[in-house]
Structure 1
Amino acid sequence: MPTIRRSVSSLASLAAFEAAARHGSFTLAAAELSVTQAAISRQVKRLEEELNTPLFVRSHRKVELTADGQLLARVMTEAFGRVAETVEAIRQPAPDDTVIVGTTLAFSHFWLVPRLPAFRAAHPGVKLRLISEDAGFDLRQGRVDLVVRYGQPPFADAQSLASMEDEVFPVCSPVLLATIDPPPALGTLAGFPLIRLEWQDPAWLTWPRWAGMAGIGHMSTRSELRFNHYTDAIYAAINGNGVVLGWRRLIAELLDGGRLVRLGGAVAIPVERYHVLRPVRRRLTPPAELFTDWLVGQFGADA
């Protein structure tokens, strides 16, 4: 497969050509690239000599692309655009400028994001970047400023500043519950269509582990629906597709709004908790300290 450096000797000549083709002007291309018009002309001429074909038809006041120039311009503009989009997607904000917060997708979606307007109203000058990943974060890598992690301390990479427990119980949509008459007892939950999660974190509960903790004993794990994200499982339950394990702090608004209902009174309270974590060997910037204090306060209010 040919490489770009084998095809042309200078990437600068490609950049000069792409800018000139996009603007239809060597002068405007020179202004964009902060070089002289003569430099653009030389780079384009060099590229034409390498390709052994004219790319522009030059007149006194303007330049126009040839058929070969139009073909190359379309490809170069698309390629440069995709490179620019990728660069912006992976660019990391300056640490002093933006507070970077890591959470799981479910915690971000159901708990943190609905509370952010209050923080932004109180501190409009603080920039936030929220990274949601179920695979977890290592604060020793310096990628994020603080993390909300579900687990059990001690944590090798972080100090816990606040924590709150949660309770877990089966939930489903009111529509699904209304189709079962009479509603089955918890011991026969396996008769319901169960929604199962393919957990990436072993600290999160499976149906068998929940049943043991809730005092139900062994239960079937037969499931017609499986998801690898808790958010998808919750929305599947809302739409009447089955019963899912509900983490009360995450789905409180859905329960209060009647979009989900609790099944029975059995509950499990895991030893793991949600923790606000800060790095053990890195000082936080003032904006990060501000957001951390706010988040700790939110944990205290919710608990």
Structure 2
Amino acid sequence: MSDRLPPLTALRAFEAAARHLSFAKAADELNVTPAALSFQIKSLEEHLGAPVFRRLNRAVELTEAGRTLSPGTSEGFARLTTAWRNTQRISDNTTLTVTAGPAFTAKWLAPRLYEFAQAHPEIDLRLTAGLRIMDFDRDEVDLAIRFGYGPDDGLHSTPLAREWVTPVMTPELAQKYDTPAKLANAPLIHDDSINFLHNPCDWPAWFRAIKIAADTSHGPRFSQADHAIDAALAGAGIVLARVTLAHKDILSGRLVAPFKTAISTTAQFRFLCPLGNETRPNIAAFRDWVLKQADPIKTVGRNRQLIAAADIPPPQ
């Protein structure tokens, strides 16, 4: 028996018919007549030397040979489709598909989209908010912005800014809680989205860093950082906020970060794309723009006392 593959058109006809279990629906999908599709199936069966479908009155079902062939053809055409789309994206410098976490999208990207559009009217930006582990081929995205440690093996990775957390609140609450000691009795907002960090950057760690005993078990908890910051903007309490997400509100005066003590972490937002793709004009333009947008974070960090999370003593 020859290992030579049958014509691609015959395999394509089989894959569609096996998926639909209908010659008519497969023909409609492939934009051919049922007679033409039936001819391709017959050609494949002659090439194989065995039937792949059992023809019934008004339906078809796979034979044992058809059931064996079906998964491989489905996977093969799916991989071909993905490869083709990825190849198209490489030569397309007019669109850019970006994925980032919901908080980064809400607090960083969305408020600045107009600025990017003004600077790069030739690029059509498409955003997808999500946190799952990236597969650039499967997910059909050009670049990702993710928070964490890495490693980012096989990817081009550029950190956006040094990350640290500090108490953030409205100017009105800052007048009432004007010393670190008073925060022990303040309404605390908890951002649980960074509970995965190896060294905690939470309220208990911050109070240990300033050597003040406090009960931090109270207060609302949020699984998304942007929701925790929005609660602080509404005056609901004081949040231990990541500077990358809160700096725009701090610089505008909507929120204030009155205390010098901050906890730094080696986790950070990184700009990620497949290795080698960082030189593509649209990806390079977005990377340069994002890095420029991160520059104001340095202003917020002036005169801060940054304590590494790893250097904070564990709870007794």
| TM-score of the superposed pair, with normalisation by structure 1 | 0.58
2:111 corresponds to 1:114: yes
Deviation (angstroms), 1:98: 2.9
1:264/1:275 CA distance change after superposition, 3 Å: same
Q: Which residue of 1 aligns with 2:250?
A: 255
Alpha-carbon distance in 2 for matches of 1:175, 1:201: 28
2:219 corresponds to 1:224: yes
2:209 corresponds to 1:209: no
Alpha-carbon distance in 1 for matches of 2:153, 2:213: 35
1:301/1:136 CA distance change after superposition, 3 Å: farther
Deviation (angstroms), 1:142: 4.5
Contact 1:171 1:263 in 2 (8 A): yes
Unpaired runs of 5+ residues, structure 1, are: 1-8, 13-91
Deviation (angstroms), 1:193: 0.9
Q: Which residue of 2 aligns with 1:158?
A: 155
Q: 1:199-251: per-residue Cα shift (whole Å, max 9, x none)? A: 26613832223444x44366432223121111211121111111101223322
2:183 corresponds to 1:186: no
Q: Which residue of 1 aligns with 2:129?
A: 132
Identity %: 30
Q: Which residue of 1 aligns with 2:233?
A: 238
Residue aligned with 2:110, SS? helix
Alpha-carbon distance in 1 for matches of 2:201, 2:115: 31
Unpaired runs of 5+ residues, structure 2, are: 1-21, 26-84, 299-316
1:196/1:119 CA distance change after superposition, 3 Å: same
**How many residue pairs align between the two structures?**
218
Alpha-carbon distance in 2 for matches of 1:110, 1:185: 28
Alpha-carbon distance in 1 for matches of 2:121, 2:162: 30
RMSD over aligned Cα atoms:
3.7
1:127/1:238 CA distance change after superposition, 3 Å: same
Contact 2:166 2:263 in 1 (8 A): yes
Q: Which residue of 2 aligns with 1:294?
A: 289
Residue aligned with 2:244, SS? helix
Contact 1:148 1:275 in 2 (8 A): yes
Alpha-carbon distance in 2 for matches of 1:267, 1:151: 18
| TM-score of the superposed pair, with normalisation by structure 2 | 0.56
2:97 corresponds to 1:100: yes
Q: Which residue of 1 aligns with 2:79?
A: none
